[in-house]
Amino acid sequence: MTEETTTREIKTNGYVIETNDLWRVYKSGAQEVQALRGVELQIEPGHFVALVGRSGSGKTTLLNILGGLDEPTRGEVRVFGQELSHMTEAKRTRWRREQVGFIFQSFGLLPTLSAYENVELMPRIAGMRARERKERSLYCLDLVGLSKWMDHRPYEMSGGQQQRVAIARALANKPKLILADEPTGELDTSTAREILTLFQKVVSDEKVTMLMVSHDSLVDEYVDQVLRLRDGQIVKE
């Protein structure tokens, strides 16, 4: 980490993400699953962080709560100094749109839209002005190396290219935080490495913090910090 990337625009006690005794219990009928059992974590600004752990250990649940897609059963989550559980649903939706970019394993692109249109849709929904929206979308496609592919639809592209479009889309609203859930899960090893290298570039160029769920031992070489979940708790490395 360089000095510059660790000391940027942060309003809190140094962390961009902080949780205290975070629990998420799923109830379905008489069944109860304790997906998160008192998660404590801190993430520093500008860090590229991997969240690892076995299937079912609670990674997706944690990511969804940190991104305001789900609410904890108990405990506190602060992201950029905002206590998420105190927000109304509407406020949280707006907060999410402005501050967080999501990337998924299966890319999640709209099949009938071109790469450019997929990227541009996000700032459109957020209400960005047309000219800025266009500039930003072109910039993001350039950042991921896909300017020449902007008029192509997802099915005309490789998995790696589709994930690049999804990365450009996640960046389009200038988020401060990127959350990625197994973004390399569908990619072969060399393409996965390309995407991980791109993530490093995105974190440093765009001055974002990134939390990435991964199964892959490959990620250790690329990230600043590894958080390990086991049975809903963070294990100290």
Chain residues in the site for ligand ADP (CB under 6 A): 26, 28, 33, 35, 53, 55-61
Residue whose CB is less far from Mg ion, 157 or 223: 223
CB 60, min distance to Mg ion, A: 3
> d(Cα 223, Cα 52) in Å, to the nearest integer?
12
- 184 touches, from ligand ADP, Mg ion, none (C-beta below 5 to 8 Å by class): none
- 57 touches, from ligand ADP, Mg ion, none (C-beta below 5 to 8 Å by class): ligand ADP
Residue whose CB is less far from ligand ADP, 39 or 172: 39
> d(Cα 132, Cα 158) in Å, to the nearest integer?
29
Stretch near Mg ion under the rule CB under 5 A, chosen from 46-54, 56-64, 116-124, 188-196: 56-64
Nearby residues of 150 by Cβ (< 8 Å), 6 or more positions away: 114, 115, 116, 138, 141
Beta strands 209-214; 31-43: pairing state: unpaired
Residue whose CB is less far from ligand ADP, 61 or 162: 61
Tell me the helix, strand and coil percentages in the chain, rounded to 5. Answer: 40, 25, 35
- Residue 195 has φ and ψ, to the nearest 5°, of -70, -40
Among 5, 19, 57, 60, binds Mg ion (CB under 5 A): 60
CB 206, min distance to ligand ADP, A: 26
Q: Residue 207: is it exposed, middle or buried by C-beta count within 10 angstroms (0-12/13-18/19+)?
A: middle
Residue whose CB is less far from ligand ADP, 29 or 111: 29
Left, alpha or beta for 107 (phi > 0: left; psi -120 to 50: alpha)?
left
CB 190, min distance to ligand ADP, A: 25
CB 54, min distance to ligand ADP, A: 7
- 217 touches, from ligand ADP, Mg ion, none (C-beta below 5 to 8 Å by class): none
> d(Cα 205, Cα 138) in Å, to the nearest integer?
16
Nearby residues of 53 by Cβ (< 8 Å), 6 or more positions away: 59, 228, 229, 230
- 105 touches, from Mg ion, ligand ADP, none (C-beta below 5 to 8 Å by class): none
- 13 touches, from Mg ion, ligand ADP, none (C-beta below 5 to 8 Å by class): none
- 61 touches, from ligand ADP, Mg ion, none (C-beta below 5 to 8 Å by class): ligand ADP
